[in-house]
């Protein structure tokens, strides 16, 4: 193959390096106003009164909007549940929730005028912690009780398994909430159109969903709303902040002028969605030869103030709770709870990194108690072709999960690193190694989520791909160009792409769920094949010969003469079925990515500092379409996982994030990154385009788990709580549960 | 608000500006001169997206008061020579050092300030030089590799 499997360069990167790429904030339009949201200083309060009259008289202030001015429905949400107001009505439920909007002529003026809105609040007790929300005398965030969702899934009979087991390992684990921390703050520019509609430039993982939300809130015909993604400065599951795009559009339509809103970094922290924090109770019952007979899991999920993505994250959590292991008797219960915090959302890994931290700690503890090599224990239980998942889905014959564990084991043996031996020179330095495994279903859980694409030969003799799902920087557009060039056997320089513009593309789903390569890539491939078939007929008719590179000019001329547009269309929806509401059985995903990560570390028990020495990652990722982009996802995922393991933690006091910028919310820097050895096993997915599967999210899932296992091994104390910051490591050194 | 007039050398040319007294260099570069290659990320000098060279040294333009650069030399990504830009583009793109690209201009200016001082670089030197520039996408390894490749190329050119 000429293009698939090659590290084709990202076409958008040239402008990015030159500083010419236009992100939303870089777009300027003559006569543009600045918008701002007036935000609540309380996390839980009744709004008694809002006074804006004084403001409306200030010259330069063009509009003031409160909830009552919203022409459409004042409710948004990323999934079927629309429960979040764009502007709060009678109550605020998290710190910084918008209570009014202002548009004014300059950035400075709009900021100043925001302080002139007088809002009278009556404070209500704030629910900051997950556990507090469950207490009987706790106030409710909404009217329907704080536990708003409980779902279970079961397979076999856990109780029986418990009777037959030789060992039971039962523990409670807890993880923190973290921020996506994309470096480009959320921003939006809305431009009113002559037909009463609006054109919206935004930084988003889904233009089509954004369009639906805007048209509902503004009460506009969907055809009057066009959403176009500018260059996107990172997403990782975040963006758009739906209230933001609706607020900007509201101001633009009201003032009939272009309006730009740009969040400050603090706003990004306070307002946008976060990774869910979990409390998890795991009970593993095991036979003495290492075979896991049963697992019981109870998970409490902190949803924040609105449902947001939580029902869908919870659905994925149910299925991934036991990890990539074949267990016959499983009982999982997940409950989602409201608290007075900004809504938890979709973040790389979608509810699975939390679980992986817990189930992989369990695996190590089982191995240690049974005196079985941890690697061996994982091999004993690892999914293999023919096994059935918790939902009864058969593991396909192309799955090569065990090989990832074996390969990591082999690399580790060959490297003969003596680092994992206890240091004799410095008694305060402890060394350890850890590993963790994961599986991840590609696409949305048990729901139709088709990829749709069009590939067309343009009048200028180029090939144009039309795809709705945005390239958020990871390089999906490049992957699609590779697929099309390969199918059409044409020079890739002639293949261009238009993506993420509702005017020119059909809805191909969001850039999330590790679905772009596997699902949308398939749609692109089918579209190219469709075009190729049509071309062959056309060429025959006119006596032209392939390759396309040679006959393109004649072809376009002939097509013009005939008045036809040569294009192909592709549609791919993975063969899934919804889970049965009672039994939880069904086929939630078209395929799964599997992987194993391994890490060696040093811990300084005087300071609590963790130093990473070496990382090995190996995935069953199907065929890799672009090795450089693959490596970029794996390393990027691991480094984000390093932050999750011991640096990042949102500190919350009375519902308010107290470390809302990068001086106190600490991200990994170049100095925190060890050598990372990125590997794949040879595999090919029977459904994936050219055998490919997705890697975006699986890349981060095992990282914190592997690091936590390494720290536990080094300190001989089990880590049960993330992040393993300096304080927590020191606390661990003072515990006495010697492993 | 009070305005203040000052002049400085921006990307090799003497320029004058008269912004609000408390404007930051970031504001002036973006809003006054339209140099949007300078990115706004955190506005407290932590993320490095707004990095520019001030008299050859990499600084965060978001925490520098604009008038304080009077008579100084300021270089933004837009001020690289075509040759320099091409070199960085090829090295960064080939290594996979660009994903969302928001940190990239700042990253390159930090790299340039290091490369202008010396070309015999250890990996640690490079990691230190870019440790003030946050990247959430790549995981840094590819950026370090790209800068190392640029250094090696420039070194070879010096020898021959």
Q: What is the pLDDT of residues A17-75, one digit of tens each?
A: 999 999 999 999 999 999 999 999 999 999 999 999 889 889 999 999 999 999 999 99
Is A697 found in the same domain as A548? no
Total tally of structural domains belonging to chain A: 3
Q: pLDDT class for A538, splitting at 50, 70, 90?
A: confident
What mean pLDDT do residues B18-32 have?
95
Angle between helices B82-95 and B104-117 (to 10 degrees): 110
**Which residues of chain B lie closer than 8 angstroms to A13, CB-CB?**
89, 92-93, 98, 101
What mean pLDDT do residues A700-727 have?
97
A·B CB contacts under 8 A: 169
What mean pLDDT do residues A84-100 have?
98
> Does the pLDDT of residue A418 top 70, yes or no?
no
Query: What distance in Å separates the CA atoms of residue A572 and residue A197, rounded to the nearest whole number?
Result: 32
CATH number for position A63: 3.90.1170.50
Q: How many CB atoms lie within 10 A of CB A90?
A: 9
Is A332 found in the same domain as A409? yes
Lowest mean pLDDT of A174-183, A539-548, A572-581, name the range.
A539-548
* Distance in Å, alpha carbon of B128 to nearest chain A alpha carbon: 7
* Distance in Å, alpha carbon of B69 to nearest chain A alpha carbon: 22
What mean pLDDT do residues A407-435 have?
81
A184/B36 touch (CB, cutoff 8 Å), yes or no: no
Residue in the structure block whose two tokens are 């500092």: A609
In a domain, A403, yes or no: yes
Distances (CA, A) of A438 to A333, A378, A385, A538: 20, 11, 16, 48
Q: For chain A, what is the mean pLDDT?
A: 96
Of A537, A554, A572, at which residue does a domain stop?
Answer: A572
Q: Which of B61, B109, B141 to mutate to test the interface with A (most CBs of A within 10 A)?
A: B141
Q: pLDDT class for B27, splitting at 50, 70, 90?
A: very high
Is A350 found in the same domain as A282? yes
Percent of chain A at pLDDT > 90 equals 92
Of A262, A286, A318, at which residue does a domain stop?
Answer: A262
**Which residues of chain B lie closer than 8 angstroms to A629, CB-CB?**
96
Is A318 found in the same domain as A213? no
A233/B77 touch (CB, cutoff 8 Å), yes or no: no
Question: In this predicted model, what pLDDT tens digit does every residue of A617-670 receive, in sequence order?
Answer: 999 999 999 999 999 999 999 999 999 999 999 999 999 999 999 999 999 999
Query: What pLDDT, on the 0 to 100 scale, is given for residue A542?
Result: 86
Q: DSSP states of A250-267 as a string?
A: HHHHHHTS-EEEE--HHH
Q: Which of B129, B137, B146 to mutate to test the interface with A (most CBs of A within 10 A)?
A: B137
Is A667 found in the same domain as A542? no
| B6-78 and B80-159 have identical folds | no
Is A193 found in the same domain as A57? yes
For the B6-78 domain, the top CATH level (class) is: alpha beta
Percent of chain B at pLDDT > 70 equals 99
Of A209, A232, A262, at which residue does a domain stop?
Answer: A262
Cis peptide before A547 (omega within 30 of 0): yes
Q: Give the nearest partner residue to A10 out of B98, B128, B136, using CB atoms.
A: B98
Query: Who has greater pLDDT, A95 or A541?
Result: A95
A234/B136 touch (CB, cutoff 8 Å), yes or no: yes
Q: pLDDT class for B158, splitting at 50, 70, 90?
A: confident
Residue A674's closest chain B neighbor by CA? B141
Q: Give the nearest partner residue to A667 out of B105, B136, B143, using CB atoms.
A: B136
Running DSSP on this structure, what letter comes out for residue A216?
A: H
What mean pLDDT do residues A388-409 have?
97
Query: What distance in Å separates the CA atoms of residue A140 and residue A17, rounded to the nearest whole number?
Result: 49
Per residue, what are the HEC states of B84-98? Answer: HHHHHHHHHHHHCCC
Q: pLDDT class for A420, splitting at 50, 70, 90?
A: low
Query: What distance in Å separates the CA atoms of residue A299 and residue A634, rounded to the nearest whole number?
Result: 28
In a domain, A138, yes or no: no
Q: pLDDT class for B145, splitting at 50, 70, 90?
A: very high
Lowest mean pLDDT of A20-29, A137-146, A295-304, A363-372, name the range.
A137-146
Distances (CA, A) of A105 to A112, A414, B11, B79: 11, 65, 30, 31
CATH topology of domain B80-159: DNA polymerase; domain 1 (1.10.150)
Query: What pLDDT, on the 0 to 100 scale, is given for residue A423?
Result: 56
> Does the pLDDT of residue B1 top 80, yes or no?
no
Residue in the structure block whose two tokens are 């008289």: A57
Query: What distance in Å separates the CA atoms of residue A471 and residue A483, rounded to the nearest whole number?
Result: 15
What mean pLDDT do residues A144-172 have?
96
In a domain, A694, yes or no: yes
Query: What pLDDT, on the 0 to 100 scale, is given for residue A262?
Result: 98
C-alpha B110 chain-centroid distance? 5
Is A662 found in the same domain as A540? no
Take residue A691 and report the two structure tokens written for it. 């055998």
Q: pLDDT class for A738, splitting at 50, 70, 90?
A: low
In a domain, A288, yes or no: yes
Q: Give the nearest partner residue to B100 out of A9, A472, A640, using CB atoms.
A: A472
Strands B51-54 and B57-60: antiparallel
Query: What pLDDT, on the 0 to 100 scale, is given for residue A120?
Result: 98
Q: pLDDT class for A547, splitting at 50, 70, 90?
A: confident
Residue B103's closest chain A neighbor by CA? A183
How is the beta sheet containing A118-123 ordered, strand by strand? A91-92, A45-51, A118-123
In a domain, A178, yes or no: no
Query: Which residues 499-528 of A have a C-beta within 8 angstroms of B?
Result: none
What residues form DSSP beta bridges with A497? A465
Q: Which of A6, A9, A11, A17 to mutate to test the interface with B (most CBs of B within 10 A)?
A: A17
Q: pLDDT class for A422, splitting at 50, 70, 90?
A: low
* Distance in Å, alpha carbon of A683 to nearest chain B alpha carbon: 24
**Domain residue spans of chain B:** 6-78, 80-159
Q: Give the nearest partner residue to A670 out of B20, B99, B144, using CB atoms.
A: B144
Is A346 found in the same domain as A204? no
B1/A108 touch (CB, cutoff 8 Å), yes or no: yes
Q: Give the nearest partner residue to B49 out of A183, A262, A676, using CB atoms.
A: A183
Q: Range of A503's domain?
A: 450-572
Query: What pLDDT, on the 0 to 100 scale, is given for residue A144?
Result: 86
Query: What pLDDT, on the 0 to 100 scale, is given for residue A421?
Result: 58
Is A598 found in the same domain as A524? no
In a domain, A197, yes or no: yes
In a domain, A136, yes or no: no
Is A337 found in the same domain as A395? yes
Query: What pLDDT, on the 0 to 100 scale, is given for residue A227?
Result: 98
Write down the pTM of the prediction. 0.97
CATH number for position A379: 3.30.365.10
**Which residues of chain A lie closer than 8 angstroms to B139, CB-CB?**
632, 635-640, 673, 676
Strands A610-620 and A675-680: parallel
Is A440 found in the same domain as A405? yes
**ipTM for the whole predicted complex goes beyond 0.95:** yes
B89/A25 touch (CB, cutoff 8 Å), yes or no: no
What mean pLDDT do residues A503-528 have?
98
């Amino acid at each position: 193959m000429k293009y698939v499997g090659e590290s084709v360069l990202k076409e958008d990167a040239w402008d990015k390096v030159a500083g010419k790429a236009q992100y939303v904030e870089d777009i300027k339009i003559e006569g543009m106003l600045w918008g701002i949201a007036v935000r609540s200083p309380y996390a839980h309060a009744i709004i008694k009164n809002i006074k804006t009259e004084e403001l409306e008289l200030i010259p330069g202030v063009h509009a003031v909007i409160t909830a009552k001015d919203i022409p459409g429905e004042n409710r948004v949400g990323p999934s079927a549940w629309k429960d979040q107001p764009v502007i709060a009505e009678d109550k605020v439920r998290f710190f910084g929730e918008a209570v009014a909007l202002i548009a004014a002529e300059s950035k400075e003026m709009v900021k100043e005028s925001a302080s002139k809105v007088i809002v009278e609040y009556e404070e209500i007790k704030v629910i900051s912690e997950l556990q507090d929300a469950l207490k009987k005398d706790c106030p409710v965030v909404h009217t329907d009780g704080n536990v708003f969702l409980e779902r279970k899934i079961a397979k076999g009979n856990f109780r029986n398994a418990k009777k037959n087991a030789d060992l039971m390992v039962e523990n409670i684990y807890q993880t923190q909430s973290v921020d996506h921390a994309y470096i480009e703050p959320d921003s939006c520019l809305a431009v009113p159109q002559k037909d009463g509609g609006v054109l919206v430039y935004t930084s988003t993982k889904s233009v089509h969903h954004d369009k639906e939300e805007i048209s509902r809130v503004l009460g506009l015909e969907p055809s009057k709303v066009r959403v176009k993604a500018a260059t996107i400065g990172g997403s990782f599951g975040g963006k758009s902040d739906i209230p933001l795009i609706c607020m900007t559009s509201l101001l633009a339509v009201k003032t009939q002028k272009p309006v730009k809103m740009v969040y400050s970094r603090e706003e990004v922290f306070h307002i946008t969605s976060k990774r869910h924090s979990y409390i998890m109770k795991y009970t593993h019952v095991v036979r003495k030869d290492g075979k896991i007979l049963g697992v019981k899991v109870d998970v409490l999920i902190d949803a924040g103030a609105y449902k947001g993505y939580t029902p869908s994250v919870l659905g994925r959590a149910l299925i991934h709770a036991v990890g990539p292991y074949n267990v016959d008797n499983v009982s999982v219960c997940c409950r989602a709870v409201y608290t007075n915090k900004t809504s938890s959302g979709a973040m790389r890994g979608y509810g699975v990194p939390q679980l992986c931290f817990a189930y992989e700690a369990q695996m190590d503890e089982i191995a240690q108690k049974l005196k079985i090599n941890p690697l061996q224990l994982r091999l004993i239980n690892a999914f293999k072709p023919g096994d059935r998942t918790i939902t009864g889905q058969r593991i396909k014959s192309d799955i090569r999960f065990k090989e990832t564990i074996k390969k990591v084991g082999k690399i580790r043996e060959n490297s003969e690193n003596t680092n994992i031996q206890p240091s004799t020179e410095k008694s305060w330095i402890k060394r350890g190694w850890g590993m963790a495994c994961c599986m991840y279903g590609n696409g949305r859980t048990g729901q139709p989520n088709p990829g749709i694409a069009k590939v067309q030969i343009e009048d200028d003799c180029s090939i144009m791909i039309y795809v709705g799902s945005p390239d958020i920087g990871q390089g999906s557009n490049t992957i699609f160009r590779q697929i099309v060039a390969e199918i059409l056997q044409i020079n890739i320089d002639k293949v261009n792409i238009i993506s993420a513009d509702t005017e020119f593309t059909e809805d191909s789903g969001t850039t999330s769920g590790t679905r772009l390569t596997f699902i949308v890539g398939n749609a692109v491939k089918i579209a190219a094949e469709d075009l190729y078939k049509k071309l062959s007929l056309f060429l025959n008719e006119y006596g032209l010969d392939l390759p396309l590179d040679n006959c393109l000019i004649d072809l376009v001329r002939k097509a013009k003469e005939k008045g036809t547009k040569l294009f192909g269309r592709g549609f791919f929806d993975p063969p899934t079925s919804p889970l049965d509401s009672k039994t939880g059985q069904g086929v939630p995903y078209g395929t799964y990515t599997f992987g194993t990560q391994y890490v060696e570390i040093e811990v300084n028990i005087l300071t609590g500092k963790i130093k990473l020495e070496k990382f090995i990652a190996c995935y069953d990722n199907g065929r890799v379409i672009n090795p450089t982009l693959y490596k970029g996802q794996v390393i990027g995922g691991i480094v984000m996982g390093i932050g999750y393991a011991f640096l990042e933690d949102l500190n919350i006091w009375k519902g308010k994030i107290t470390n809302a910028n990068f001086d106190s919310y600490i991200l990994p820097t170049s100095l925190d990154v060890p050598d990372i050895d990125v590997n794949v096993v040879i595999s090919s997915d029977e459904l994936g385009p050219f055998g490919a599967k997705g890697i975006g999210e699986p890349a981060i899932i095992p990282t914190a788990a592997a690091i936590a296992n390494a720290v536990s091994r080094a300190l001989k104390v089990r880590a049960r709580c993330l992040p393993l910051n300096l304080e927590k490591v020191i606390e661990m050194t003072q515990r006495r549960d010697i492993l | 608000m009070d305005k203040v007039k000052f002049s400085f050398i921006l990307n090799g040319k003497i320029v004058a500006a008269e912004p609000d007294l408390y404007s930051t260099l970031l504001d002036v570069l973006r809003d006054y001169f339209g140099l949007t290659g300078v990115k706004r990320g955190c506005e407290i000098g932590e993320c490095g997206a707004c990095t520019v060279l001030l008299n050859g040294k990499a600084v965060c333009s978001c925490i520098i008061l604009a008038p304080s650069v009077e008579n100084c030399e300021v270089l933004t990504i837009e001020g690289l020579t075509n040759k320099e830009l091409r070199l960085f583009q090829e090295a960064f793109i080939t290594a996979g050092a660009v994903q969302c690209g928001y940190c990239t201009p700042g990253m390159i200016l930090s790299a340039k300030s290091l490369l202008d001082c010396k070309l015999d670089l250890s990996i640690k030197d490079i990691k230190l030089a870019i440790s003030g520039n946050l990247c959430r996408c790549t995981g840094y390894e590819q950026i370090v590799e790209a800068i190392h490749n640029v250094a090696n190329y420039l070194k070879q050119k010096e020898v021959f």
